[in-house]
Structure 1
């Protein structure tokens, strides 16, 4: 799946004639009409968007070969992917695909490797970068930081690195120095 990019998710059926709600993750939604092949997560099932129209908070699509509500229901929550090479190259170094970040080393501002990017999420309040920490003493399997310029000032896909601002780096808890009183009160 590393060479594929998630571009849409099929939602519930729309009506009785096989149309589906479609949640699109591309900058230009109608570009989906030209992307071929679209595949499911396994890569075995292929899809083609025959028509697409905007709705309130999603799109309504007709997929080739899906003729009725029953067939549309069977596709609910199927993610649609395209091969990475089917997408145009980003126009500048500040533009990138989320898939290009997966697996990149995460560094602190001093240049020390502190983890590896595992995912990007959008829970509704803005993008979140998730990474697996490699710092000693950090017990979390993954950590999340806001994917903003303040928290992640450097995204260098060609240089293979993502930098997290020091204020957002979770460090090992400070250990008491020898001779310090650890009791309370």
Structure 2
């Protein structure tokens, strides 16, 4: 199975380093020196990670054969793709790989359908589920134990207990505002 693990950003410095937008929960494994990554578009790769480091909270990578800023800048916006065994599981009991969570149905603890997870967004302080609602809109759900109460891979669903306002329908909000304005 192939998974997008990062998107290359702008060049950093003059020695061929690039910033990377991480899209994997295990960058130390998937983006480690020596990792060979396919690319999208395919004409740019494959790329082999020569080195990596964190600078000011951002991951910087350098690839074999990319020696200067011009070559690094030519890689901007290219997606990095890793081969992942679909049966591979993380070490921790309550840990999941992104590919296990994407496409799960999301329901509230009361059984109300919220939507389907389309993406996992890895931010510096927490991860977010990007959930597409049945009407096509998206809602961001923090992937924290207090809100995501259960992940059931066998049933292909995530159960959430959202705080007020997290998933409230826009129609409900508009109706509530109209009621207050009439009063």
TM-score, structure 1 as length reference: 0.72
Q: Which moved more, 1:145-154 or 1:111-120?
A: 111-120
Correspondence for 2:40: 41
Deviations 1:132-183 (A, max 9, x none): 223xxxx561222222222211122343111111545435739x9xxxx9x9
Equivalent residue in structure 2 for 1:159, among 142, 148, 155? 155
Q: How many residues align?
A: 173
More strand by share: 2
What is the Cα deviation at residue 11 of structure 1?
3.0
Correspondence for 2:141: 145
Could you list the runs of 5+ residues in structure 1 that have no partner in the other structure? none
- Report the RMSD for the aligned CA atoms in angstroms: 3.3
Q: Distance in 2 between matches of 1:47 and 1:160?
A: 34
Q: Is the 8 A contact 1:108 1:169 kept in 2?
A: no
Deviations 1:60-116 (A, max 9, x none): 432122132211111123231212328942124411112321111112213343311
1:17 aligns with 2:15: yes
Deviations 1:15-50 (A, max 9, x none): 3332333454443526522433x1223445311102
Q: Distance in 1 between matches of 2:127 and 2:90?
A: 19
Q: Is the 8 A contact 2:25 2:97 kept in 1?
A: no
Q: Distance in 2 between matches of 1:166 and 1:17?
A: 46
Could you list the runs of 5+ residues in structure 2 that have no partner in the other structure? none
> Bigger radius of gyration, 1 or 2?
1
More helix by share: 2
- Give the alignment of 1:26-37 within 5 angstroms: 26-27=25-26, 29=28, 32-36=32-36
